[in-house]
Chains A and B, each alone.
Chain A
Amino acid sequence: GQQVMQIPQYQHVQEGEDFTTYCNSSTTLSNIQWYKQRPGGHPVFLIQLVKSGEVKKQKRLTFQFGEAKKNSSLHITATQTTDVGTYFCAGDSNYQLIWGAGTKLIIKP
């Protein structure tokens, strides 16, 4: 079936280091959405990418959608404690959202 693979499952970083999570789909996506779930919270929408090769920025967060619309990435520059949480991608394939398993960002003490 349709899958969206998201890696890594966890990423431990020192505060101030960068963080990246990647999503790869087995099928071409019409769009991809990104969500953030803080510990103890619920997923909150961050952004949607629609166009091939699209790049969008939100302050320290950079989102990319691949040329083939099968992969996407989220990059956070200079992580802060407020970035802690799990980041999910969700790809739209045939009008159904297919969710990645999430990448948990952990800041090392």
Chain B
Amino acid sequence: KAGVTQTPRYLIKTRGQQVTLSCSPISGHRSVSWYQQTPGQGLQFLFEYFSETQRNKGNFPGRFSGRQFSNSRSEMNVSTLELGDSALYLCASSRAGGRGTDTQYFGPGTRLTVL
């Protein structure tokens, strides 16, 4: 079974631009969560989608948004990029409902650099 895929793997943008990242979960998984990882900051939860609905949301500004499609693929968008948005963005899928009891399967991440 194919794993979680994320595109693109690397991205360079300038301040003020916007960016869209894509995540395709493991086949049959309906929950997709997004995380931001910066050096020394661990994994910061952005949001989780299940059946096209946002179920949980972390403490990030409104510039960060996401959506999920009927095939469970998910996108996240960051508008008006800031230097501090430079990070590794990880997507994780899980089987049933995004509940904590479900194992999170992570993709390889998208490395975003904002200049």
The 4 A-B pairs of least Cβ separation, nearest first, read: A92-B100, A101-B42, A42-B106, A95-B99
Q: Which residue of B lies closest to A45 (CB)?
A: B103
Secondary structure at chain A's binding surface: helix, strand, loop or mixed? strand
Evaluate contact between B106 and A100: CB separation under 8 angstroms: no
Evaluate contact between A30 and B42: CB separation under 8 angstroms: no
Q: Which residues of B contact A66 (CB under 8 A)?
A: none
Number of interface residues of B (CB under 8 A): 21
Q: Mark A3-30, 1 if CB is under 8 A from B, else 0.
A: 0000001000000000000000000001
Number of A-B contacts (CB under 8 A): 54
Q: Does A93 contact B (CB under 8 A)?
A: yes
Q: Does B101 contact A (CB under 8 A)?
A: yes
Q: Which residues of A contact B33 (CB under 8 A)?
A: 97
Instruction: Please judge, given known A-B contacts A42-B106, A43-B106, A45-B105, whether A99 and B100 are in contact too, CB under 8 Å.
Output: no
Q: Which residues of A contact B41 (CB under 8 A)?
A: 101
Number of interface residues of A (CB under 8 A): 24
Q: Which residues of B contact A101 (CB under 8 A)?
A: 41-42
Evaluate contact between A45 and B90: CB separation under 8 angstroms: no
Bound: A48/B94 CA distance, A: 14
Given contacts A43-B104, A45-B103, A92-B100, could you give 5 more A-B pairs where the C-beta distance is less than 8 Å?
A41-B108, A42-B108, A96-B100, A97-B45, A101-B42
